[in-house]
Amino acid sequence: MQNFVFQNPTKILFGRGTIPEIGPETALFGKTALLVYGRSSIKKNGIYDQAVASLTDAGIQIVEHGNVRTNPVLSHVREGILLAKEHKVDVVVAIGGGSVLDSAKAICAGAMVEHDVWLFFKGKKSVKTALPMLSILTLAASGSEMNSAMVVTNEETEQKFGFANKLLYPKTSILDPEATFSVPADYTAFGAVDAIAHILEFYFTTEDPHTPVHDRFMEGLIITIMESCERVLKDLSDYQGRADLMWCATLALNGLTGAGLGKVGFPMHLIEHSLSGIYDVPHGAGLSVVIPGWMRHASQERPVKFAQFAQRIFKIAGEDTATMAAEGISRLEAWFQSVNSPTDLGALDIPEADIPKIAENCLALAKVWRMREYTKEKIESILKLCC
């Protein structure tokens, strides 16, 4: 285990009936709020009405900024920044999944500067101050409700970039599992895949050979995510299943899984960002395609850790680590298929002939994320294992 500092300032309000707390919590940070949300779902399931009533009762003036896309885009973020500046908002409230929360974070950073917000994503500027943000989570997936990271797509360049800054942690996040009851089966599964991917990035990319605490913690989260996802897919209104899935997705990327691991990377997300950036596929669906291919490529160099994953997650036994690793990857891929998440590029209608284009698209983000070992050739070889 490496030296580390763990500090997470986000306050979590978890459980049934917590949505009406958004008004009093927001009032601690100001009187004018930019309300950021997606499309029609929160108005159909009543979450919008609950939140607006609470904010209004708390004396909050609301400026609305809806229609965030599943893969949030830069142009919409820029519009939100202009609204925030025009109305001199004090605080941003986000209601939705990771796309909405990420857009809100970008607005919080961009509203405080005169330069274009995309410069943050390119690593050309750093965040010095930001508007406070609060959230009501409606999709278990990204962990954005309790971390400082965000991802946005520049639709003009087809680049999907992400970065994190300590000033972008939500002040308060409300996690009511009932708010996820209306999430359909496909996006429930995609969210579970996203959470698993966050864990696997840390699990497989740390170079520290002695991580027993982290390994057991992450393995437990993965098993629980899989079990709770299966439970929810049988009954989309299963409260306990939704609660387990929601909290696991939060824990997967709130800093605990990576604390003490030293240098880690996000290669699976690096490659998937190009898939959703170019083709606008659901992020979790893109990840379930990339993960098995990346694992097959990486396991050739570190079969022991992959064999450990196979043994502890799927109870695969054997003496040959390479065989165990391969079987574990196949079992994970089969689980993705069992929850109807795609596992090859063809299932996303992405032709194999586009692999060089996708790999080229990855290079700019690899540079920003300081992952220069992911050359065009290496990325192409991984993508060929995703066909």
Rounded CA gap, 372 and 375, in Å? 6
Query: Is residue 3 in a domain?
Result: no
- Cβ(231)–Cβ(238) under 8 Å? yes
Picking from 7-11, 57-61, 364-368, which range would have the lowest pLDDT averaged per residue? 364-368
On whether both 132 and 267 belong to a single domain, the answer is no
CATH number at residue 64: 3.40.50.1970
Q: pTM, whole model, 2 decimals?
A: 0.94
312: Cα separation from own chain's centroid: 24
**How confident is residue 124, by pLDDT bands cut at 50, 70 and 90?**
very high
H/E stretch holding 61 reads strand 61-65
**Can you give the pLDDT at residue 319?**
85
219 and 348 share a domain?
yes
Going by pLDDT thresholds of 50, 70 and 90, the confidence category of residue 40 is confident
Q: Looking at residue 41, what is its pLDDT?
A: 86
Longest Cα separation, the chain: 66
Question: What's CA 379's distance to the chain center, in Å?
Answer: 21
Does some domain include residue 6?
no
Residues 158 and 201 in one domain: no
| Residue 30: pLDDT over 90 | yes
SS3 for 193-227 is HHHHHHHHHHHHHCCCCCCHHHHHHHHHHHHHHHH
Helices (H), 45-97: 47-57, 74-86
Alpha helix stretches (DSSP H) within 12-46:
22-27, 41-44
Residue 209: band (very low, low, confident or very high) from pLDDT cuts 50, 70, 90: confident
Question: Which residue among 179, 212, 240 closes a domain?
Answer: 179
DSSP 8-state class, residue 58: T
Residue 246 has pLDDT above 90, yes or no: yes
Residues 5, 354: Cα–Cα separation, whole Å = 42
Q: Is residue 287 part of a domain?
A: yes
- CA 247 – CA 245 distance, rounded (Å): 6
In one-letter notation, the amino acid at residue 314 is F
Q: Please answer whether residues 325 and 296 qualify as being in contact, where contact means their C-beta atoms are separated by less than 8 angstroms.
A: no
| Contact call for residues 55 and 136 (beta carbons, < 8 A) | no
**CATH code at 299?**
1.20.1090.10
Dihedral angle over CA of 43, 46, 49, 52, nearest 10? -90
Contact 45, 208 (CB under 8 A): no
Q: 314 lies in a domain?
A: yes
Question: What is the tens place of the pLDDT at every residue in 137-153?
Answer: 999 999 999 999 999 99
Task: Report the number of distinct structural domains present in the chain.
Answer: 2
Q: Sign of the CA dihedral 256, 257, 261, 262?
A: negative
Same domain, 171 and 189: no
- Whether residues 378 and 304 share a domain: the answer is yes
Range of the domain at 90: 11-179
Q: Which residues contact 102 (CB under 8 A, 6 or more apart)?
A: 72, 142, 144, 149, 150, 151, 152, 162
**Across all residues in the chain, what is the average pLDDT?**
95
**Secondary structure class of 113 (helix, strand, coil):** coil
Please name the residue ranges forming H helices in the chain: 22-27, 41-44, 47-57, 74-86, 98-110, 118-121, 185-205, 212-234, 239-252, 267-279, 283-298, 303-314, 321-338, 355-368, 376-384
278, 366 Cβ separation under 8 angstroms: no
State whether 252 and 289 are in the same domain. yes
Tracing tokens 């596929």 back to the chain, one arrives at 281
Do 138 and 206 belong to one domain? no
Looking at residue 238, its amino acid is D
Phi, psi angle pair for 340, to nearest 5°? 65, 40
| Domain membership flag for residue 202 | yes
146 & 264 share domain: no
Task: Note whether 260 and 366 are same-domain residues.
Answer: yes
- The predicted structure's pLDDT at residue 21: 97
Same domain, 280 and 300: yes
Last residue of a domain, one of 179, 196, 227: 179
Whether residues 157 and 282 share a domain: the answer is: no
Does 164 map to a domain?
A: yes
User: Considering the domain boundaries, does residue 1 fall inside one?
Assistant: no
Same domain, yes or no: 157 and 198: no
Domain boundary among 126, 159, 179: 179
